[in-house]
Amino acid sequence: MDNANLSDIEIVKGKPQSYVAAPPAEVLVEAKKKVLFVASEAAPFIATGGLAEVIGSLSKALAKSDVFDVRVILPLYQDIRKEHRKDLRYIGNLYVPLSWRNQYCGIFEYKAEGVTYYFVDNEYYFKRPGCYGYYDDGERFAFFSRAVMEILGFIGFYPDILHCHDWQAALAAIYLKTVYCLRPEFQHIRAVFTIHNIEYQGKYSLDILEDLFGLSYRNKNLVEYDNCINLMKGAIECSEAVTTVSPSYAEEIKQPYFSYGLDPIIRRNEFKLTGILNGIDPEFYDPAADPSLFANYDARHIENKAVCKAELQKMFGLPQKPDTPIVAMVSRLVAGKGLDLVKDIIEQALREDMQFVVLGTGESTYENYFSDLARRYQGKVVAVISFNSDLARKIYSGADLFLMPSRSEPCGLAQMIASRYGAVALVRETGGLKDSITPYGAGGNGFTFRDYNANDLLYVICEALAVYRDKAEWAKLTKKAMETDFTWSTSSKYYEGLYLGLLK
């Protein structure tokens, strides 16, 4: 009973030498399998992308079953939202060894909706704006991962499953199998590693293996790839199971086109790889209750979506035409999102009766391109170069068609959110886009095209606009998109099965 605490112990009167543990709650917790998520971000505390949303919503979904005690550990960044920071409870501190360093580590705790969160505090590493992009990110996340391992004893929670997400948490799995594996409390722990995006692998010079990561040269082979330290590769080697965020992406990353060099490692570890499609939190993204919207609606009472559209047009200074479709993109403005295709054909598409709205930030070529397009097509095109989740929600609710023509997309959440808000998704058939959106022509919930080709994109946009003109047909399609189950209800079962399989 490693969580024992004096208030849980009941002294049995008259028998001073013996005691019994207070039963129900604690016993139940003990019976649950313990899962610890290690991640560099988690909604609602800190989010730069889909990773945070998945950590937030998957942990909640798993905690709902009575099988798992789910906890999440992340760095205490300066940017953790104020409204959450005030509720964090300080539970202690310790010093974390990292090679020759010995660094302070404060631990804060927060509990919500069945999930316990821990925050790793060290101002030198994390009291900076944002989460990533510093010259010493390798050291920052090595400290974080090493702190995770040290904290387990302190909080009395040795998980059955240590589930590490993306390269920033990779070292936790690596430390488990190199530094900590001989300690009895760690020997039962099984490691799961999830690849949210294979593009970011955590690559460093081999020179810092000992000095910075505190790994012995005996373990060099585990993390070495292409003459570098590759933390993602190390975590794949050190984990009993590897998952990625959609079944199609699990296949794709076995090929060089998608793998950013890691396909030989993926193929070699194919036996431990599964693709599990992400879900979204249906309460967080609920057009029937979303306070950001101009009006609320759902699939059965969709009339207010027209109000959202009219208000969006008004806000953007677009003509308030109910029958002109709004085609939208909410995206990071980077090449991988298929923007070169959009650039190639958008002016041809704009000859049709449509309005085009883009929201996002990213590479300056695309930011400039879309701003210029909006200047040239005033009253038809709007480009908002910023990121603002309130505005994103207003766009999902006002739009009719949502474009996501990515070159590669591990999972993608925007196509699911858009569909739930009744903006029919038009996607390229890759990764999670292919697994969540099926083509209209085959009775599906959206529009798709296969090859990464601008003419195919244009063709399918025109097909969608033609269906839009058929009111009854479009209403049916919108309803179908909105009613597609994008929740975790099925996918979290796959994780449960995976964990239980590893614990047999």
E-strand stretches of 212-340 = 224-225, 228-230, 241-244, 273-275, 326-330
SS3 503: helix
Query: Does 54 sit near ligand GLC (CB under 6 A)?
Result: yes
Q: The tokens of 314 are what?
A: 């008004």
Query: Residues 411-450 vs ligand GLC: string with x where CB under 6 A?
Result: xxx------------------x------------------
Q: Which is nearer to ligand GLC, 51 or 151 (CB)?
A: 51
Q: How far is CA 295 from the centre of its chain?
A: 28
**Nearest CB to ligand GLC, comparing residues 54 and 152:** 54
Shortest distance, position 195 Cβ to ligand GLC, whole Å: 9
Binding of ligand GLC by 192 (CB under 6 A): no
| Tokens 């969709």, located at residue | 302
Tell me the two tokens of residue 66: 């009575």
Q: How far is CA 40 from CA 176, 284, 412, 428, in A?
A: 18, 21, 18, 29
| Interacting span for ligand GLC (CB under 6 A) from 43-51, 93-101, 115-123, 256-264 | 43-51
Cβ proximity to ligand GLC, 51 vs 457, nearer residue: 51
Choosing from 245, 250, 273, 425, the residue that interacts with ligand GLC (CB under 6 A) is 245
Residue with tokens 């002294």: 11
Measured CA distances, 212 to 50, 101, 137, 187, 198 (Å): 29, 9, 11, 25, 23
Report the residue number, 88 or 242, with the smaller CB distance to ligand GLC: 242
Q: Least CB distance from residue 409 to ligand GLC, whole Å?
A: 5
Nearer to ligand GLC, 122 or 248 (CB): 248
Residue 170 touches ligand GLC, criterion: CB under 6 A: no
Which one of 18-26, 75-83, 234-242, 405-413 is the stretch in contact with ligand GLC (CB under 6 A)? 405-413
Contact string (CB under 6 A) for ligand GLC, positions 93-132, x = contact: ----------------------------------------
Contact region for ligand GLC (CB under 6 A) — 45-53, 134-142, 169-177, 304-312? Answer: 45-53
Residues in 273-302 at the binding interface with ligand GLC, rule: CB under 6 A = 278
CA nearest neighbour of 403 among 382, 425, 432: 425
Residue nearest to ligand GLC (CB): 50
CA pair distance 382, 355, nearest whole angstrom: 8
The stretch among 10-18, 44-52, 151-159, 372-380 that binds ligand GLC (CB under 6 A) is 44-52
> Of the candidates 10, 19, 21, 49, which one interacts with ligand GLC according to CB under 6 A?
49
Contact call for residue 360 and ligand GLC (CB under 6 A): no
**Least spacing, CB of residue 48 vs ligand GLC, in Å:** 9
Closest contact distance (angstroms) between CB of 170 and ligand GLC is 15
Minimal distance in Å, beta carbon 50 to ligand GLC?
3
96 within 8 A of 147, measured Cβ to Cβ: yes
C-beta of 42 vs 346, nearer to ligand GLC: 42
SS3 assignment, position 24: helix
Q: Is 196 in the site for ligand GLC (CB under 6 A)?
A: yes
Amino acid sitting at position 394? K
Closest CB to ligand GLC among 219 and 430? 430
Question: Which residues lie below 8 Å from residue 7, measured CB to CB, with a gap of 6+?
Answer: none
Using the rule CB under 6 A, is 398 a contact of ligand GLC? no
Q: Contacts for 43-48 with beta carbons within 8 Å, 24 or more apart?
A: 43/284, 44/81, 44/84, 45/74, 45/80, 45/81, 45/84, 45/117, 45/119, 46/74, 46/77, 46/79, 46/80, 46/81, 46/131, 48/130, 48/131, 48/132
Q: Which of 41, 45, 50, 151 binds ligand GLC (CB under 6 A)?
A: 50
DSSP 424-446: EEEEESSHHHHHH--BGGGT-SB
Nearest approach, Cβ of residue 35 and ligand GLC (Å): 17
331 binds ligand GLC (CB under 6 A): no
Please choose, from the candidates 236, 305, 228, the residue with its C-alpha nearest in 3D space to the C-alpha of residue 273.
236
- Counting Cα atoms < 13 Å in the Cβ hemisphere of 150 gives 20
Q: State whether the Cα torsion 424-427-433-437 is positive or negative.
A: positive
Candidate residues 39, 42, 51, 426; the one interacting with ligand GLC per rule CB under 6 A: 51
305 binds ligand GLC (CB under 6 A): no
Q: Give backbone dihedrals phi and psi of 252, rounded to 5 degrees, phi first.
A: -60, -40
Could you give the CA distance from residue 358 to residue 28 in angstroms, rounded to a whole number? 49
| Helix H or strand E segment including 277 | none
List binders of ligand GLC among 465-494 (CB under 6 A). Answer: none
Task: State the residues that interact with ligand GLC by CB under 6 A.
Answer: 49-51, 54, 196-197, 245, 278, 409-413, 432
